Structure 1
Amino acid sequence: MRLYDSIGPNPRVVRMAMAEKGINLPSVTIDITAGVNRSSDYITKVPAGGTPALELDDGRVISEITVIAEYLEELHPAPAIIGTTPEERAETRKWVRIIDLGYCEVMANGFRATEGRRMFESRFPLMSKSGGDELKAIAAKKLQWLDGLMTGDFICGNRFTLADILLFCFVDFGAQVGQPLPDGLVWLPAWHQRMAARPAAAA
């Protein structure tokens, strides 16, 4: 297998998941700033053009970060980042979906329409800049909602999961593109410190 890697929060989620599991794979870096993911051989492997992607030994290609993480968990069950029981896996998948749809997608689309507009406007349709600003505000509201709801060390209580990896990578990215954590949060800043202290956070 080999990983098609790039800059950005999506590939970092997979790299961090791999690091938590002690998985090492050869990788190929795709220059998304130059649009390589939207042309050449890559687009034939990954029609949606996103990164990362995992190419299997038989030539099949798996894309989408949560799908890749699920596949790696099936190959390497321990340490579990999704869960060891049906109930644990269901809880993790619930929070991954809530975070992905409610925060990650909204925050990322807000970035693409504003600070990232020059890079993305020739590649696919974008919201207006004012719409992007509204998406940023919605993403901040989702973080405030999450902050008021959480009580344990991690999103799934005291169990570290893919949901934590996903949120951490996108919160870190947001801080780099004009979307820092909102003021007045309590749980998220402490959680972020715990996450940043994990060796896998360097992935």
Structure 2
Amino acid sequence: MKYYNSIGPNPRVVTMFMAEKGVKIPEVMIDLRSGENRRAPYNVDVNPAGQTPALELDDGSVLCEVTAICEYLEERFPETPLIGTTAEERANTRMWTRRVDIKICEPLTNGFRYAEGLPLFETRMRCLPEAAAGLKAIAQDGIAWLDPLIAGRNFIAGDRLSLADLMLFTFLDFGASVGQPIDPAFTNVQRWYEQMKSRPSANPT
């Protein structure tokens, strides 16, 4: 297999997922800043959507999209389960992953793309600068919604680390670096974030 990596929160989710499992896959770094992902050979031979990450399988086929890649890796490398070992655990992880993605990760990312990231993204995708402030507010609303729900627990989807934790952490960590920090009033999310930040997978050597 071959892993196409880059800067950014999306590929970092998969990188942390593999680290938590102890899985090492040869990687190719794609230079997003120069637009390598938006031109051949990457957007022809690897991902026609021009996005990272991507995982080339042993048969030469390519998987894209964070959740699809992580689901595949979970099945290939079931030790240290991060999605679940039962139908109930897997459904719960998928539910929480979807919730944090829609309520927090997506609006946070587009709020950045349409504001601070506009010089980089305006020639690569349709951008809506007028929506940036609203999207950032929606992301904060999502964090406010989540905060009381994780009171007294260490992980998003219950009593175990899961894909939901890795996804939310990478995006909140990214947000903190681009002007969207966690409001200190959200004490449960802040506590959870600090715990996640101390994990070895969040700080590779």
User: Under a length normalisation based on structure 2, what TM-score does the superposition of the two structures give?
Assistant: 0.96
Aligned residue in 2 for 1:165: 166
The equivalent of 1:39 in structure 2 is 39
The corresponding residue for 2:17 is 17
Supply the distance in 2 between the matched residues of 1:10 and 1:81 (Cα, whole angstroms).
17
1:138 is the counterpart of 2:141: no
Report the CA distance between 1:182 and its aligned residue. 1.6
Amino acid in structure 2 at the alignment position of 1:76: F
SS of the residue 2:166 aligns to: helix
CA contact 2:5–2:29 (8 Å) conserved in 1 = yes
- CA RMSD in angstroms, aligned pairs only: 0.9
Cross-structure match for 2:88 = 87
Report sequence identity in percent: 51
Match for residue 58 of structure 2?
Answer: 57
Q: Partner residue of 1:115?
A: 116
Question: Equivalents in 1 of 2:66, 2:84: separation in Å?
Answer: 17
| Corresponding letter in the other structure for 1:4 | Y
User: What's the CA shift for 1:107?
Assistant: 0.6
Cα deviation for residue 11 of structure 1 reads: 0.7
Unaligned runs of 5+ in 2: none
Aligned length: 202
Query: Equivalent residue for 2:150?
Result: 150
Does the 8 Å contact 2:184/2:190 carry over to 1?
Answer: no
Q: Secondary structure at the match of 2:155?
A: coil
Deviation string 1:138-188 (CA, Å, 9 cap, x unpaired) is 101110110121131101121110000000000000000010002311111
Q: Equivalent residue for 1:195?
A: 196
Q: Which residue matches 1:99?
A: 100
Q: Partners in 2 of 1:188 and 1:55 — Cα distance? A: 35
Q: TM-score, normalised by structure 1?
A: 0.97
Instruction: Give the partner amino acid of 1:22.
Output: G
Instruction: Give 1:146's aligned amino acid.
Output: L
- Structure 1 window deviating more from structure 2 (147-156 vs 4-13): it is 147-156
- What amino acid is the match of 2:55? L
Q: Secondary structure at the match of 2:63?
A: strand
| Rounded Cα–Cα distance in structure 2 between residues aligned with 1:75 and 1:196 | 27
- Structure 2: distance between partners of 1:56 and 1:159: 28
